[in-house]
Structure 1
Amino acid sequence: MKKIKEPSETKFYPQKQNAFTIVLLGFLILGLLGARVVECDIVYQAINCRKHSAVLTDFGAKGDGVTSNTAAFRNATAQLSKFGSDGGAILIVPPGKWLTGSFNLTSNFTLFLQKGAVILGSQDISEYPLIEPLKSYGRGRDAPGGRYISLVFGTNLTDVVITGENGTIDGQGAFWWDKFRAKELNFTRPYLIEIMYSNQVQISNLTLLNSPSWVVHPVYSSDVIIQGLTIKSPVDSPNTDGIDPDSCTNMKIEDCFIVSGDDCIAVKSGWDEYGITVGMPTKHLIIRRLSCISPDSAVIALGSEMSGGIQDLRAEEITAYNSESGVRIKSAPGRGGYVKDIYMRRMTFITMKYVFWMTGAYGSHPDEGYNPKALPEVKNINFSDIIAENVTMTADLSGIKGDPYTGICVSDAIINLSPNPKKVQWNCTDVSGITSNVGRPPCDLLHDKSIESGCDFPNDVLPIDEVQLQTCKLASQQISH
């Protein structure tokens, strides 16, 4: 039998060893130069999976936090749009800091941020082109005229997904906040993510930081799913609403944590005469398992831009800490439109100025062309199963003279006051409705009435709740474009 050499008996020949080393190093260098950054399999939940894939580095991007990757992002989405009719494409943003200006998404497309990936918003204003104001607003929200396009933008899309492994999009908003406060901007600040005139939209499993203004703004869209977002802005940052559903139909927001300088969620549908003319309501909206911190604004606000109407909002399992108000309805003469069929239950509020706050005098207007006789309709507003601790005032409810807010129902509320509460706990003018089991006596305009089942909450299933996400799997060796 031929003897098998032990390791100690193996001989190495210097010339062959050097040649082998050189070849090996050559392969390693070539491998590193052509490395695809993505080194592990990707598994995620989405409305649709994709047939084609690419990595941002394929398009020359550098994740050093300094190099501008605007051209790389724009080129990537343009190239991958070619696969829209052939199973769609996914663009993977790998770990690193990827500085970029605004870029547009495409249909049948997924933008995927891996763990450790950070998209940084450029502070070069020239990388944010100007676009027209929204038709339902008539002007930019900050200033007359146009607005800077959002960092991540899409319009007229079908089937678009923005998701990841809790990767981050950081708008680096301090640059914009300072200019806004100093009145150095002639146009409206960009939002972090805006999707317009689109359907089948998913935004999920991301961390969104420091938006220049509103953070997530779906507008004129339908079939929208927003899940698992962590949204953070400094509590003194201007107008950094967390999520603003705006003239959207069939939408749900679930399992989100928001720290905001403005409302955590602000439901909208256009501004005064422009919103009335466009006439696109926000309706069939679900909000579940929301956690919020907003010391100077609302956990959930309806309006003030609600001129196209808001109808059939269902919110439940809401938790908030150190916020100005739990629920706020904001409107005014000139708004027109309606807020009706609102259902909220199972809410826990800790340290609040107001639990319920409604105002009919939120009087900002886009211009002088509004009709002061265009009065909003506010009715069928339902709140039940509420626990609130450390509250300064339970309710400040003010409708509009000659146009009262009607059908308000509050049931099963436990309200514990702060050490220094307001003497008047229920202030009610130009409203009507009922209360049941709310502890201390409410105002006379909300009659105390025993309701065995509490205020209304629908038990039918909305179409958005029937959408089943797919489990998408992408092995690292499959990633190519």
Structure 2
Amino acid sequence: MEERRVSLLELIAFPKSQVKVMVMDALVFLVLVAVLPSITVVESRKAGILDSLEYSALSCRGHSASLTEFGGVGDGTTLNTKAFQAAIDHLSQYASDGGSQLYVPPGRWLTGSFNLTSHFTLFLDKDAVLLASQDEGDWAVIDPLPSYGRGRDTEGGRFISLIFGTNLTDVIITGDNGTIDGQGAPWWEKFHKGQLNYTRPYLIEIMHSQNIQISNLVLVNSPSWHVHPVYCSNVLVQGLTILAPVTVPNTDGINPDSCTNTRIEDCYIVSGDDCVAVKSGWDEYGIAYGMPTKQLLIRRLTCISPFSAVIALGSEMSGGIQDVRAEDIVAINSESGVRIKTAVGRGGYVKDIYVRRMTMKTMKWAFWMTGNYGSHPDKNYDPNAVPLIQNINYRDIIADNVTMAARLEGISGDPFTGICISNVTIGLAKKAKKVPWTCTDVAGISSGVTPKPCDQLTDQGSEMMTACTFPEDSLPIDNVQVQTCTCTRKHL
């Protein structure tokens, strides 16, 4: 049980009302862990020192070094930002000679933000904990994302993420379930009190990059989003445990943003916001940047988010979202299973969305679509920029203890069309809403759905229970394979 020790201790941070649910759902997590991609640790001990590690990765490296070789001190109080950056800068010279790997040994490694390099692996030992500095002076301020035009918390710039990289190729952040702790409490407090001068940092952000792997880590207490690949292609996210108190703001789990060919699988997320939020830019800035998120796979995700969605599409979707395939999802004690969030001024599109084999327990809504999610970066958005929402498919879904089956709200004069819901059984809670479905400005079909949907979803009859499609072809990211790599702790 050593691998879960950090995660279970995180339950202390949750409200008491949530602890009972969380302990029950730890059993679900343990079942999930049994099917996660495994890491094999090969120990060759000399004088009690671990010499080599075997693990799964997209790329293996020709060179390896330990953080301690660059002055790192894992006592939880010594600041290691310079040690991390010196190590990475030194290892960058091997990019064209087999690449390199930085091993973070057991210890508590306090650090500010640091930048990654190409053809590089950051590997955290199972007993390594990266602690994010709580001193704002350890975080540089960078420009807003061009597809957003401003920071999300405030106007202007944003604090750089703890682990950051841009214009990179072949980057791996992984470990033997080592921990990255964002120590976000001071940031959450400043957000609530309106004391932020810049937007809060994320835990991991990779920009304008390709061939990225983030896997087999425990991520906790980010100041804001935990994992944010943006303007990237070929991204693999596997085997993450992400934990934050469910009442803290904007602690999204994984947010693919204007990315192509992304695979998210075998993750367990407890969050104060959406577990997976699919994005592509905000209003006029996202429209002008014009980079959609497309070809996204989400598999074997377990989520707890009492105040947000398991999978959210938007609200920043102005560059477009297309071809999202989600399957084998477990949702527990969450506000909604799948939510589409958009508004007049967003423009863009959400289309070709496929969800199947989803199980939900204790939900406010199973499905929620809204066209009036009205937050805007500024007053310069185009009131004629209406979003296109079409070809949304939900099938083979079971839900229990649900307050309301669905809330589907399109935009007047811009209806959401091509909605298909089939083979879905929703068990309502004892204090459920009297009307289980509400539908305005939407159109589509249904078959084999209980309770009976609204009239806007024309009933096709039980013989059409598989009417909603799910693509059977493979996306390029689905064919990417990992290999067994070895990390040896040695001097270069």
TM-score in terms of structure 2 length: 0.89
CA separation in 2, counterparts of 1:311 and 1:172?
A: 35
Per-residue CA distance 1:23-54 (angstroms, 9 max, x = gap): xxxxxxxxxxxx99951420111110000000
Name the SS for the 1:442 alignment partner: coil
Alignment-derived partner of residue 14 in structure 1:
none
The Cα shift of 1:143 comes to 0.4
Alignment-derived partner of residue 458 in structure 2:
447
Name the SS for the 2:88 alignment partner: helix
Q: What one-letter code is carried by the residue in structure 1 that aligns with 2:410?
A: G
Alignment-derived partner of residue 234 in structure 1:
245
Q: What one-letter code is carried by the residue in structure 2 that aligns with 1:226?
A: V
Alignment match of 1:320 (pick from 331, 346, 366): 331
CA separation in 1, counterparts of 2:383 and 2:275?
A: 29
After superposition, residues 115-264 of structure 1 pair within 5 angstroms as 115-264=126-275
Alignment-derived partner of residue 50 in structure 1:
61
Alignment-derived partner of residue 285 in structure 1:
296
CA separation in 2, counterparts of 1:435 and 1:36?
A: 66
Per-residue CA distance 1:382-429 (angstroms, 9 max, x = gap): 000100000000000000000000000000011111110000101000
CA separation in 2, counterparts of 1:441 and 1:83?
A: 61
CA separation in 2, counterparts of 1:445 and 1:82?
A: 61
The Cα shift of 1:190 comes to 0.2
Q: What one-letter code is carried by the residue in structure 1 that aligns with 2:436?
A: Q
| 8 A Cα contact 1:84 1:107, kept in partner | yes
Alignment-derived partner of residue 117 in structure 2:
106
Alignment match of 1:456 (pick from 466, 469, 474): 469
| 8 A Cα contact 1:230 1:256, kept in partner | yes
Per-residue CA distance 1:266-308 (angstroms, 9 max, x = gap): 0000000000000000000000000000000000000000000
| 8 A Cα contact 2:422 2:465, kept in partner | no
CA separation in 1, counterparts of 2:202 and 2:190?
A: 15
Alignment match of 2:91 (pick from 80, 83, 88): 80
Name the SS for the 1:464 alignment partner: helix
CA separation in 1, counterparts of 2:484 and 2:157?
A: 40
Alignment-derived partner of residue 335 in structure 1:
346
Name the SS for the 2:152 alignment partner: coil
CA separation in 2, counterparts of 1:87 and 1:367?
A: 47
Name the SS for the 2:449 alignment partner: coil
CA separation in 2, counterparts of 1:452 and 1:327?
A: 20
CA separation in 2, counterparts of 1:76 and 1:37?
A: 24
RMSD between aligned alpha carbons?
A: 1.1
Alignment-derived partner of residue 364 in structure 1:
375
Alignment-derived partner of residue 468 in structure 1:
481
Name the SS for the 1:437 alignment partner: strand
CA separation in 1, counterparts of 2:263 and 2:106?
A: 29
Per-residue CA distance 1:207-251 (angstroms, 9 max, x = gap): 000000000000000000000000000001110000000000001
Residues 209-218 or 176-185, more deviating: 176-185
The Cα shift of 1:440 comes to 2.2
Name the SS for the 1:78 alignment partner: helix
Q: What one-letter code is carried by the residue in structure 2 that aligns with 1:457?
A: F
| 8 A Cα contact 1:273 1:370, kept in partner | yes
Task: Report sequence identity in percent.
Answer: 67
Name the SS for the 1:135 alignment partner: coil
Consecutive unaligned residues in structure 2, runs of 5 or more: 1-45
| 8 A Cα contact 2:76 2:110, kept in partner | yes
The Cα shift of 1:454 comes to 3.2
The Cα shift of 1:453 comes to 2.8
| 8 A Cα contact 2:422 2:466, kept in partner | no
Q: What one-letter code is carried by the residue in structure 2 that aligns with 1:461?
A: S
**For the structure 1 residues 452 and 349, does the alpha-carbon distance in structure 2 shift closer, same or farther, using more than 3 Å as the test?**
closer
| 8 A Cα contact 1:390 1:416, kept in partner | yes
CA separation in 2, counterparts of 1:480 and 1:221?
A: 33
The Cα shift of 1:468 comes to 1.1
Consecutive unaligned residues in structure 1, runs of 5 or more: 1-34
**For the structure 1 residues 237 and 128, does the alpha-carbon distance in structure 2 shift closer, same or farther, using more than 3 Å as the test?**
same
| Runs of 4+ with >2 A deviation | 35-38
Alignment-derived partner of residue 361 in structure 2:
350
CA separation in 2, counterparts of 1:41 and 1:286?
A: 33
Indicate yes or no: 2:317 matched with 1:306.
yes
CA separation in 2, counterparts of 1:138 and 1:426?
A: 37
CA separation in 2, counterparts of 1:474 and 1:322?
A: 40
| 8 A Cα contact 1:36 1:55, kept in partner | no
CA separation in 2, counterparts of 1:157 and 1:312?
A: 25
| 8 A Cα contact 1:37 1:94, kept in partner | no
| 8 A Cα contact 1:385 1:413, kept in partner | yes
| 8 A Cα contact 2:275 2:305, kept in partner | yes
**For the structure 1 residues 278 and 36, does the alpha-carbon distance in structure 2 shift closer, same or farther, using more than 3 Å as the test?**
farther
Alignment-derived partner of residue 25 in structure 2:
none
| 8 A Cα contact 2:448 2:465, kept in partner | no
Per-residue CA distance 1:338-360 (angstroms, 9 max, x = gap): 00000000000000000000000
Size of the aligned set, in residue pairs, is 445
CA separation in 2, counterparts of 1:74 and 1:245?
A: 26
| 8 A Cα contact 1:268 1:303, kept in partner | yes
CA separation in 2, counterparts of 1:214 and 1:441?
A: 37
Name the SS for the 1:115 alignment partner: coil
Per-residue CA distance 1:131-189 (angstroms, 9 max, x = gap): 00000000001000000000000000000000000000000000111111111111000
